[in-house]
Amino acid sequence: MFKKALLALAFLASAMGAFLPGPAFAQTADQAITGFLLAQGSTYNGYTCPSTQTHPCFVQYGSTLPVSGSFSATLSGFTPTAGATATLSASGTSADVALPAGTDVVVSSPSTNTVPVFIRLQAGAGTAVTSDLPVNPGAAVGFHITTATHISGITAGTAATLQIQGGSGLATGYGGGGSGGGGGGTSVAQGSTTAGQNVSPMGCRTLTSAPTDTTAQTNMPWCTTKGSQVVAQPTAADLNATVTGTVAATQSGTWNVTNVSGTVSLPTGAATSALQPTNAAQGSTTSGQTGPLVQCSVTTAAPTYTTAQTDPLNCTTNGAVRVLDNNSASLLAAAQAGTGSTGSAVPASAIYSGANSGGNLTGLIQADTSTPINISTATTTQLVALVSGKKIYVTAWDVVAAGTGNITLEYGTGSNCGTGTTVLTGAYNLTAQSGIAKGNGLGPVLVVPASNALCALTSAAVQMSGSVAYTQF
C-alpha cells in the first residue's frame, strides 16, 4: 500500500511540478524525474520538509538536497594537560612510544635536531618508514586522536628526539614556523621575475631529480624526498683564482718541499748522502760500512753511578758488557728453601714428587713402619693403635690363610676397635695356602681417619699370617 501511495504521489507530483515549491530540476524531452512526496515535518536522508508549508515536498531519488543558511562554530586553542608528555628517541631504526593522555597531541622537533623525523600514528605499537610524515627540526604538528595509541618515528640515520604533549583543542600556533612581520615582503608567484621584488622565499621543492630553472626568476630551493636541501658542488673552474701583487708569507712549523728543480744550497752541517749510515744486511761484511756505533766505557772493575743520571754502558777489558743479575740471590734462596737434611721434617715448600688428592697437590706417602698379622682365632685384633689427631696410611699389606676363613680390615676406637667400628675392606674368603697382597709401600692403599685404630676381624680359628706397612701423621 505504501508503494502504491508513493507511486500515486509521484504521478501527481509530475503533473503538478509547476505548482509545487522545491528544488528546480532540468529535464529534457527524453528524461523522466523520479522521486516522492515528503510530508511536512518529515525527514529523509538528512533533509526535513518544513512544517510551515501547506503541501508536501517533492524529493528526487539520488538527488543532493539543497542546504542554505548560516553556520557558526567556536574553536578553542590547544590546552596542554599537565604531566601528559612523552619523548620519542628516533634513529635509523624505527622507535615507538605510547601517546600521552589527551584528545589532541602536539609533536615537536627541537631546533637542536639536525635531521627530520618521519612519524606514523597507529593503534598499538608499530614501525615507521622514511616515506611517512616528516617533522623538520624546529617544527611542530598537531593531531586529533581517535583510535591511535602509539607514535613511531625513524630518521635517515642520524639520531633525533621528538617531544609529544597531550591535551585538548585545536593546535593553533604550531607548525614549521610562521612568517614575521616588518619585512613588508611582496607576495610573489614561483617563476615570476625577480627585479623589483622584496621577498624572502621559505621552504623548498621536493623532487626526485634536478629541476630546470630560468635565469632571473624566483624559485624555491630543491630538496630530496628525505628532506635534505641539494647544493651544487663547485667545479675546479669555480675555485680557480688569480692573485696579483705581493703576498707576504711567514714560515712556521715544518715545511715539506717536493718537486724542487735546479740547485738548492744546504746549510752548513746538513745531512748529505755521504753522511748517511749504510743500510747493512745482517751477516754482511763490516769493512766499508758506515753508521753510528754503540760504545761503552772500559774499566777493570764495575763503576759506581748516581741515580737519575745518564751514563754509558760499562765493559770489561775483554770487551764483555757488564751485566748484574739481581735475581741470583733470590733464585738461590728459593731453590734452597725446598731442600732439607735426610731424616729432617719436610720443608713447607719442599720440592718432591706429588699427586692430586681430592683436587689438592700432595706429596707421595712412604711407609716408615710395619706390623705383623698373626691371628689364629675367630676374633677382632688391633693391628695399629690410634694416635689422637693422626691418620694411619696403609701403603701395603698381605695375608696368607692356613685353612678356610674370612678376614676383614676395619677401624674404630676403644678396645680392639669396639667403639664406632667401621669396615675398611670386604670380607676376604680365603682357603688353605691362599692369600691376598695390596700396595708396594709407596702411596696409600687404605687410609684410617684421624684418632682411630686399625684392626682385623677373622671368622674362624684358622691361622692368618701377614704384615701391614704404614705411616702415621
Residues 358-372 have pLDDT tens digits of 888 888 899 999 999
Q: Looking at residue 30, what is its pLDDT?
A: 44
Beta strands in 78-178 (DSSP E): 79-90, 95-98, 104-108, 117-122, 133-135, 140-144, 150-154, 160-168
Cβ neighbour number for residue 405 with a 10 Å cutoff = 21
In the predicted structure, residue 432 carries a pLDDT above the cut 50: yes
Is it the case that residue 88 has pLDDT exceeding 90?
Answer: yes
Residue 418: the pLDDT is 95
Residue 65: pLDDT over 60: no
- Closest to 425 in 3D by CA, of 415, 416, 441, 437: 437
pLDDT above 90 coverage of the chain, percent: 43
pLDDT at 9: 41
Closest CA to 45 of 17, 26, 65, 66: 65
Phi, psi dihedrals of residue 76, rounded to the nearest 5°: -95, 150
Whether 140 contacts 78, CB under 8 Å: no
Average pLDDT, the chain: 80
Domains parsed from the chain with CATH numbers: 2-60 (no CATH), 79-168 (2.60.120), 362-472 (2.60.120.340)
Closest CA to 322 of 311, 333, 330: 311
Eight-class DSSP state of 442: B
Across residues 357-386, what is the average pLDDT? 92
CB 274 within 8 A of CB 290: no
Nearest to 456 by CA among 369, 368, 384: 384
Phi then psi dihedrals of residue 374, to 5 deg: -145, 90
**Structure confidence by residue, pLDDT tens digits, 259-285:** 777 777 777 767 666 666 777 787 888
Residue 126, number of CB atoms within 10 A of its CB:
15
Select from 384, 378, 363 the least CA-distant residue to 454.
384
Looking at residue 62, what is its pLDDT? 58
The residue among 129, 110, 119, 172 whose CA lies nearest residue 150 is 119
| Residue whose C-alpha cell is 500500500 | 1
Q: Give the mean model confidence (pLDDT) for residues 88-113.
A: 94
- Whole-number pLDDT of residue 435: 95
Q: Measuring CA to CA, how many Å separate 292 from each of 269, 286, 320, 384, 417?
A: 17, 13, 19, 80, 86
H helix count then E strand count, the chain: 3, 28
